[in-house]
Structure 1
Amino acid sequence: MAGTAGSVPIREIRSLEEFDRAALGGSLAGCRLQALDLTERTFALLVVDSSRAVFLGCRMEPQALAHIRAGGALVFPPIPGLPFDPYRAAPYTPDELYAGLGDGDGYPGTPDALTYAWSRRTGADGDVLSSMLRSVHDDALSDALDELMRGARVVGVMGGHAMERGSLAYAGAARLGRDLARSGLTVATGGGPGAMEAANLGAYGAPYDDVMLVKALDVLAKVPAFAPSVGEWAAAAMAVRDRWPDGGPSYGLPTWFYGHEPPNPFASHIAKFFANATREDGLLSRCDAGVVFLPGAAGTVQEVFDAATANYYGSRGEPAPMVLVDRAHWTTTLPVWPLLTALAGQRPMADRIALVDSVRDVPAALARLSWG
């Protein structure tokens, strides 16, 4: 990402390789350096121009720190004692969030659980520093997603967390994720259990033959839900990943706001946010190839009308396709479809919504609703 700070060009540096190239050129002026361990780059920091540079959560030796500050750099140091990095330059991986899962503490000792506990504790305290750190973290993740998703055709798959492994609905959602990924689309979900996990699983299994998904579903069915044990639920998913490594990519955008919903390990890129509103808008606004809504409850209904509001007002550009799956659910159980069609009226979004009976009908519906 590029910009300007006064007359000095802005350049983001997120890896040691990028740092070394910039330092070799003799200048870090105007650069934004994010979450780097520079403790072995002291000599470079002592000789390079660091005027107007900003160091976000970078570790360095005291001598180098004093020098770059004297040279005009702005430094936001790492915050000790945090279970997360507020300045991180990339989404999480499943292995990062579930590090230590097999150790003595199990899931409560993982970074995911520790970060949720920190959020609950500091949220109750009303501490302004903690609030700022949550905001910085979420903004950094949003920026990282923009970088990673640029140029991708993203399709969202939304649905409830209550859909259990081993059910026909879960298997159908997994096949949907696989078929969408194989069609060249990038699958993105809310990153949690249930329908979300199933769609990410399908995208993960897309490079493999169809037998792999059948076998993976059998493995997962032994631990149907994340209650009562998140650890056992996550371990079953990790076992699938270990048996079939190098699965296909997809995105998951969960939130620590719903602490009872752990992130599913099948999304290769996990952007877990503190603020649910940031997560919801960030997910739906990036689904330029459309959004599929599987049966769900309040959270999924909220997502339907978040997407519908943007399509109604055109606030995200041309209306993106919206496909609701399961006619009985969306017309009788939760009669969202009649309200959605009434809202669409004669507006352009009316040609971008569809109600289908089964996940098998989704690819054709998306193709029909897409612009040219």
Structure 2
Amino acid sequence: MQPTPAQPHPAARDREIESLAEFDEVVAAHGSLAQFRVQAVDLTGRTEALLGLDTTGAVFLGCPMDPEAAARVRSSGALVFPPVPGLPFDPYRGFVYTPDELFESLEEGYEATPDAQAYAWFQRTKADGDIYASMLRAIHDDAVSDALDELLVGARVVGVMGGHAMARGTAEYAGAARLGRELTRAGFTVATGGGPGAMEAANLGAYAAPFADGMLEDALQLLAKAPSFRPSVTDWARAAFEVRERWPGGAESVGIPTWFYGHEPPNAFAAHIAKYFANATREDGLLARSTAGVVFLPGAAGTVQEIFDNATPNYYESRGEPTPMVLVNEEHWTRELPTWPLLRSLARGRSMESRIALVDRIDQAPEALKRLGG
């Protein structure tokens, strides 16, 4: 007969413990960790507290602690998943990434950064069939999804999609940046694929939202000295951090990149970076979280895929009311890659028909999004 599990403390239904400050708050308020989930918190300085607390049904995910404390909480009925040594990432992390975290040690070159090291680990392990490595990737990506959901509670998220090839210094890049700025000033949270090109431009524009308009023009000129992440990711990233250092305190936005395309580094203008190993999880998660609509800038195969990845749940209404979809650049989407005629045919007679629009200029996208109910 299985034992009846202890009832979780009411606070455990609301949140996990993801920081040392939160751990101390819960201990002070409740005097118990029963049924809590403690995630990636260094508890080596909390041995005395752990020796005296009820940890029945608690789970400790990747929390460093003294051996005495670990033995005590296990004997008290907790599950302890110890930190995994030798990894360039924490699979149990409680928060999404920051640019400073992923680009730490950039002064030594991009290859020395945690971002590059995680990609190198992924390259070594993705094809060897090792279930241990694939399990670690899955745990990491699930932890990132959990952190991203917690971050975006109550946010009006607009996704901005577009190709990575859009170079700094071009009119197209400047237009995407102004779009990100206008959406942020309108109260939306901008979310992108988190990489270079159009994605970086939209995150840059969001960052620039609190400043006078001239700041963005100056930043665009500064960035133009390193137009692309090829041939040097190091130079490309350093230019972005130079902008951030010259104008600190920009507005927050979200980037959702992947190590699957490891040749695409994350951009430094998204304050919150939810980086995944599994690209399919990343793609679907980005679109599903863009609850206030999606703007699709000109792109190639990846952007076309994103359009129909988003159209499918809208067509079947599997996520409830269809989210607005705005495609930018009539020539691109009707002649170069004639995606719009097929999208319009799919939408005909369905509720999503009133939630799609094609505009010619990028500055028309915010008004179109508003008109569609974003």
Instruction: Give the TM-score, by structure 1 length.
Output: 0.97
Give the aligned partner of residue 281 of structure 1: 284
Identity between Structure 1 and Structure 2 (%): 67
Name which of 19, 26, 36 aligns with 1:22. Answer: 26
Name which of 68, 72, 80 aligns with 1:75. Answer: 80
| Unpaired stretches in structure 1, ≥5 consecutive residues | none
Give the aligned partner of residue 7 of structure 2: 7
Equivalent residue letter for 1:46: L
**What is the distance in 1 between the residues matched to 2:237 and 2:316?**
40
**What is the distance in 2 between the residues matched to 1:216 and 1:48?**
52
Check the 8 A contact 1:158/1:190 in 2, yes or no.
yes
* Residue 183 of structure 2 corresponds to residue 180 of structure 1: yes
Moved over 3 A (4+): none
Give the aligned partner of residue 350 of structure 1: 353
**Residue-by-residue CA offset, 1:231-256 (whole Å, 9 max, x unaligned):** 10000001000100110000000000
Give the aligned partner of residue 213 of structure 1: 216
**Residue-by-residue CA offset, 1:107-155 (whole Å, 9 max, x unaligned):** 1110000000101101121110110110111111111111110101000
How far the C-alpha of 1:15 sits from its partner, in A, is 1.2
Check the 8 A contact 2:17/2:23 in 1, yes or no.
yes
Give the aligned partner of residue 269 of structure 2: 266
Give the aligned partner of residue 128 of structure 1: 131
**What is the distance in 2 between the residues matched to 1:74 and 1:127?**
24
**What secondary structure is seen at the aligned counterpart in 2 of 1:37?**
coil
Count of residue pairs the alignment pairs up: 366
**What secondary structure is seen at the aligned counterpart in 2 of 1:12?**
coil
Instruction: Give the TM-score, by structure 2 length.
Output: 0.96
| Unpaired stretches in structure 2, ≥5 consecutive residues | none
How far the C-alpha of 1:6 sits from its partner, in A, is 5.6
**What is the distance in 2 between the residues matched to 1:156 and 1:18?**
31
Equivalent residue letter for 1:205: A
**Residue-by-residue CA offset, 1:211-231 (whole Å, 9 max, x unaligned):** 000000000000000000001
Trace 1:29-108 onto structure 2 (pairs within 5 A): 29-103=34-108, 106-108=109-111
How far the C-alpha of 1:5 sits from its partner, in A, is 6.3
Give the aligned partner of residue 321 of structure 1: 324
How far the C-alpha of 1:315 sits from its partner, in A, is 1.1
Q: Cα distance 1:5–1:241, how it changes in 2: closer, same or farther (>3 A)?
A: farther
**What is the distance in 2 between the residues matched to 1:224 and 1:126?**
38
**What is the distance in 1 between the residues matched to 2:260 and 2:58?**
34
**What is the distance in 1 between the residues matched to 2:94 and 2:334?**
43
Check the 8 A contact 1:94/1:270 in 2, yes or no.
yes
Check the 8 A contact 2:6/2:35 in 1, yes or no.
no
Name which of 159, 163, 167 aligns with 1:164. Answer: 167
Check the 8 A contact 1:5/1:30 in 2, yes or no.
no
Check the 8 A contact 1:176/1:360 in 2, yes or no.
yes
Alignment RMSD (CA, Å): 1.1
Larger mean CA deviation between 206-215 and 4-13 belongs to 4-13
